[in-house]
Each structure stands twice: as structure tokens, then as C-alpha cells.
Copies of this chain bind each other. A is one copy, B any other.
């Protein structure tokens, strides 16, 4: 094993661990988009967006194609969408659980635990 698998996984998740990168991936779920459009929807400076796109390119999560004047980005595999869906599911669950716990605590008249 050249690079331990669990380390590759960790790196992979770290790639997803950035708000701008997540937004890009979510936007690309609906199909390819030129940088210009990404830029219009994400509040960030062009050079910063470019840096984040570079990270996504390096890890092969997206592909970039020059089309004349502009550059179009796309997900390199639709599996990414599955992953984001799975993440959303967990996140939703964690958040509602937290909410439920909070409600329970308040109902019990308790002060914040611990």
C-alpha cells in the first residue's frame, strides 16, 4: 500500500471541508457551469474561487474545460452527488437530534447540561 487507504480517505474528506468548495460541488450537481456563474452565486473573490477550484481539480473531483472565452467546470463523477446526499442525511439527523435534546432539556426545566 503506497499511501494507506485511511489516509487517502482523510485527505479526500478534507478536500470537502471548505464552504466554498462545498457550494461549488452543490452547484455542479445540476450540471456543468462556467466560472462566471459560480462567481455570481458564491460570494468570494475571483482569485479565491480559483484557488478552491484548483483544489477540487487536483483531487479529480471536478474537471475544467476551456470554451473560448470562459472555463466550464463539471463534476467528474455523479457519485459525488450521492456522497453529498448521504452527508445531508446525517447532518439533518444530527441537527434534529440536537433540537430534540434541546427541547427535552427545556421541558425538564434544566439548565444547560454539564
Q: Chain A residues in contact with chain B, CB under 8 A?
A: 4-19, 21-23, 26, 59-61, 76-77, 79-80, 82-84, 86-91, 93-95, 97-98
Complex-state Cα separation, A34 to B19, whole angstroms: 34
Complex-state Cα separation, A19 to B12, whole angstroms: 11
Q: Report chain B residues within 8 Å CB of A89.
A: 79, 82
9 CB contacts below 8 A, A to B, read A10-B22, A12-B90, A13-B17, A13-B22, A15-B17, A60-B97, A77-B93, A82-B86, A82-B90
Q: Does A90 contact B79, Cβ atoms closer than 8 Å?
A: yes
Q: Does A83 contact B87, Cβ atoms closer than 8 Å?
A: yes
Q: How many Å from the CB of A53 to the closest CB on chain B?
A: 16
